[in-house]
């Protein structure tokens, strides 16, 4: 039975010498250890500030970018959705592990603020705190030496300017402005997922004017330069979004989108942009499966469990006969670097040598991929004309459907890169039970030595026939074990061999990363089929990386660390004051290198 399947460089030195002989600010010189002004703008998304920036409704912020590290794509949290209160908590505690959920009030926050931790680290450090928001003031203002609960943003600005105009000033001054938040709550923060409302942009103009007055007063201080001010301007979060949010990444969640700026009169300008999806490289450390005579892995065999994925007789006319009606799915990602135009070569199999009962996915003579079902009563071959030699990764999915009593319709379905290609019918009354072990790579003697060079990664075995929508959505996803229960078919994933993990370097086997992992489901390298004794045969893995739309690396934390996060600001302020951060505080933030255009006054 045959079923065809259409798939698959003098002046520069002088400048450098000048920079190298300039001194960084340090305690005991003409500089003090530093001061910090932190301006918190509630509900001002980075996109809204960027729009105000571009339409000249934020002229002060725009002028400050010449001496700032800044971003319009900062993140207020490390998970989808954030409330005003949790935004405050993340910002002021320096950790998202602060115990406050999005539905809790700020009065329930138990984690100390970075202000409290700073004062505990340096009892001489002075804090000033100004806010018109009762909750914000109550939650974080109690540790301040100078504090004032104001009634409006204008009063907050006036109170702060009064302190700035005085002879003495605190080491760190926090001022919170709630006008944008109030306008957003009244008129809406967003018109859609990417467009802030005009009212919010106009409200940012008002806050920008307050910042202008504050900066004018600050720069007029007699020892402004010597005081070495780090000015931090930040959103608390991106405001409320009323629509449905299904972001491809956290960068696409308008509620998390935040503006952040680190300003000093000697900084160089640096804009941090959000990373593109094309920057998500698939990095893998994988064994190479090749033919005999080549110095690499030739195969991997499951030595301890011959029952795994054993598909027997599927249907019988005798109602008393026990048959296997279960659904099965095999899915994997494959890259063939050297396509041999001739010869049969195994990809994945569960049968002995080139013959015997069982099943096998293999390359056939004309470079096609085929699925061979060998029964005690004969065989069926389903041939898949393949695109495997195009120098790209591809995901292959083979679905064996649950058996119904009518035996109508296709029983085997084929997918390439998540797209259904074709179905074929198999005679379920024939038995393909075998005691042969599961194996991947070269396992039998071909007609001539194989020249195949294969990566077979993200190998998945399911005890159910995956539906088409799940295959379409998840076929290119990697690291399913990190998704765990978030993956709809995690409980049905009975065998999972990523074969791409750096942690697996040095192992003599392929580890099962499913929830059902066990020693007897490991696939040991370079074992002849039929040998069931584990080996310590060391296999060298090859390290490569590639950007392709055929493989979708699971986004990790590093992807979200290319821009400022609100939790970074607490850590950065500690660094500015030269104070260490205790690991027990669980700060999530990181310190950023600050580029200077000049280290002179």
pLDDT value of position 377: 63
Co-location of 476 and 497 in the same domain: yes
**Mean pLDDT of the region 541-563:** 85
pLDDT at residue 576 tops 60: yes
For residue 89, which of 81, 98, 80 has the smallest C-alpha distance? 98
Co-location of 212 and 252 in the same domain: yes
Residue identified by tokens 């509620």 is: 255
CA-to-CA separations, 430 to 352, 355, 402, in angstroms, rounded: 18, 16, 15
* In a domain? residue 400: yes
> Phi then psi for 36, rounded to 5 degrees?
-130, 130
pLDDT value of position 535: 46
Residue 16 has a CB neighbour count (10 Å cut-off) of: 10
pLDDT value of position 158: 98
* pLDDT band, very low/low/confident/very high, at 18 (cuts 50, 70, 90): very low
Quick: pLDDT tens for 472-482.
999 999 999 99
pLDDT value of position 508: 87
**Residue 404, C-beta contacts closer than 8 angstroms, at least 6 positions apart:** none
Co-location of 320 and 422 in the same domain: yes
pLDDT at residue 563 tops 50: yes
pLDDT value of position 22: 35
* pLDDT band, very low/low/confident/very high, at 378 (cuts 50, 70, 90): low
Co-location of 193 and 237 in the same domain: yes
* pTM confidence score: 0.67
For residues 297 and 290, what is the distance between their CA atoms, to the nearest angstrom?
Answer: 6
**Mean pLDDT of the region 180-207:** 97
**Mean pLDDT of the region 388-411:** 75
* CATH code of the domain in which 295 resides: 2.60.120.200
* In a domain? residue 601: no
**Mean pLDDT of the region 547-571:** 89
* pLDDT band, very low/low/confident/very high, at 23 (cuts 50, 70, 90): very low
Instruction: State which of 497, 524, 546 marks the end of a domain.
Output: 546
Quick: pLDDT tens for 321-346.
777 778 899 999 998 776 555 556 77
Co-location of 211 and 303 in the same domain: no
* pLDDT band, very low/low/confident/very high, at 317 (cuts 50, 70, 90): low
Helix crossing, 114-121 with 84-93: angle to 10°? Answer: 20
Co-location of 249 and 332 in the same domain: no
Quick: pLDDT tens for 207-241.
999 999 999 999 999 999 999 999 999 999 999 99
pLDDT value of position 454: 82
For residue 328, which of 438, 163, 218 has the smallest C-alpha distance? 438
pLDDT value of position 14: 36
Per cent of the chain over pLDDT 70 is 80
* pLDDT band, very low/low/confident/very high, at 501 (cuts 50, 70, 90): very high
* In a domain? residue 266: yes
DSSP sequence for 430-496: S-----PPPEEE--S--SS----EEEEEEEEEESS---HHHHHHHTTB--HHHHGGGSTTGGGEEEE
pLDDT value of position 295: 59
Co-location of 191 and 323 in the same domain: no
**Mean pLDDT of the region 53-64:** 97
pLDDT value of position 108: 94
For residue 487, which of 499, 497, 475, 503 has the smallest C-alpha distance? 475
The 10 Å CB-count burial string (b at 16+, else e) for 147-159 is bbbbeebbebbeb
pLDDT value of position 184: 98
Q: Which two tokens stand for residue 387?
A: 């695109």
Co-location of 259 and 344 in the same domain: no
* In a domain? residue 597: no
Q: What angle do CA 543, 547, 548 make, to 5 degrees?
A: 115
For residues 525 and 522, what is the distance between their CA atoms, to the nearest angstrom?
Answer: 10
> Phi then psi for 431, rounded to 5 degrees?
-100, 120
pLDDT value of position 80: 78
Per cent of the chain over pLDDT 90 is 56
> Phi then psi for 51, rounded to 5 degrees?
-65, -40
pLDDT at residue 43 tops 90: yes
Co-location of 272 and 289 in the same domain: no
For residues 177 and 232, what is the distance between their CA atoms, to the nearest angstrom?
Answer: 13
Q: What's the domain range around 106?
A: 33-277+557-585
Choose the most confident range, by mean pLDDT, from 22-36, 58-72, 363-377: 58-72
- Mean pLDDT of all residues in the chain? 85
* pLDDT band, very low/low/confident/very high, at 10 (cuts 50, 70, 90): very low
Co-location of 188 and 253 in the same domain: yes
Could you tell me which residue, 444 or 513, shows the higher pLDDT? 513
pLDDT value of position 48: 98
């Amino acid at each position: 039975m045959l079923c065809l399947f259409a798939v698959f460089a003098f002046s520069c030195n002088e400048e450098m010498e000048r920079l190298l002989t300039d001194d960084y600010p340090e305690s005991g010189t003409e500089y003090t250890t530093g001061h910090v002004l932190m301006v918190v703008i509630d509900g001002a998304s980075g996109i809204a500030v960027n729009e105000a920036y571009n339409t000249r409704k934020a002229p002060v912020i725009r002028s400050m970018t010449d001496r700032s590290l800044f971003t319009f794509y900062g993140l207020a949290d490390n998970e989808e959705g954030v409330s005003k209160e949790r935004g405050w908590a993340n910002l002021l505690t320096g950790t998202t592990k602060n115990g406050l959920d999005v539905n809790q009030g700020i009065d329930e926050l138990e984690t100390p603020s970075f202000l409290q931790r700073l004062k505990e680290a340096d009892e001489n450090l002075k804090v000033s705190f100004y806010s018109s928001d009762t909750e914000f003031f109550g939650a974080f203002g109690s540790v301040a030496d100078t504090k004032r609960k104001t009634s409006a943003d204008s009063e907050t600005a006036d109170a702060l300017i009064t302190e700035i105009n005085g002879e003495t000033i605190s080491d760190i001054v926090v001022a919170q402005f709630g006008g944008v938040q109030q306008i957003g709550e009244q008129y809406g923060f967003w018109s859609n997922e990417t467009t802030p409302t005009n009212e919010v942009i106009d409200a940012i103009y008002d806050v920008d004017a307050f910042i202008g007055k504050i900066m004018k007063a600050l720069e007029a201080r007699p020892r402004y330069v010597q005081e070495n001010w780090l000015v931090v301007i930040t959103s608390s979060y991106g405001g409320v979004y009323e629509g449905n949010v299904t972001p491809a990444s956290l960068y696409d969640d308008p509620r998390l989108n935040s503006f952040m700026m680190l300003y000093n009169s000697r900084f160089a300008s640096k804009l941090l942009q959000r990373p593109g999806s094309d920057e998500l490289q698939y990095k893998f450390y994988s064994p190479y499966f090749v033919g005999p005579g080549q110095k690499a892995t030739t195969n991997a065999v499951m030595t301890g469990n011959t029952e795994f994925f054993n598909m027997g007789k599927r249907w019988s006319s005798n109602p008393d006969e026990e048959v296997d009606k279960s659904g099965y799915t095999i899915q994997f990602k494959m890259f063939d670097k050297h396509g041999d135009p001739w010869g049969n070569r195994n990809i994945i199999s569960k049968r002995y040598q080139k013959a015997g009962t069982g099943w096998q996915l293999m390359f056939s003579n004309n470079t096609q991929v085929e699925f061979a079902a060998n029964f005690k009563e004969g065989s069926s071959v389903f041939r898949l004309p393949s695109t495997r030699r195009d120098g790209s990764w591809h995901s292959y999915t083979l679905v064996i459907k649950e058996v119904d009593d009518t035996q109508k319709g296709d029983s085997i379905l084929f997918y390439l890169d998540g797209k259904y290609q074709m179905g074929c019918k198999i005679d379920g009354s024939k038995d393909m039970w075998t005691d042969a072990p599961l194996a991947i790579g070269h396992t039998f003697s071909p007609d001539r030595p194989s020249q195949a060079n294969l990566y077979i990664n993200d190998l998945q075995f399911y005890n159910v026939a995956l539906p088409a929508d799940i295959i379409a959505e998840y076929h290119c996803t990697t690291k399913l074990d990190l998704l765990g229960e978030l993956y709809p078919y995690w409980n049905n994933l009975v065998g999972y061999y990523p074969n791409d993990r750096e942690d697996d370097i040095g192992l003599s086997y392929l580890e099962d990363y499913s929830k059902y992992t066990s020693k007897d489901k490991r696939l040991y390298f370079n074992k002849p089929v039929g040998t069931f004794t584990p080996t310590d045969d060391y296999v060298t893995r090859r390290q490569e990386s590639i950007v392709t739309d055929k493989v979708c690396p699971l986004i990790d934390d590093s992807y979200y660390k290319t821009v400022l996060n609100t939790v970074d600001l607490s850590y950065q302020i500690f660094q500015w004051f030269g104070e260490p951060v205790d690991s027990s505080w669980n700060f999530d933030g990181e310190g950023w290198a600050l580029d200077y255009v000049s280290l002179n006054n």
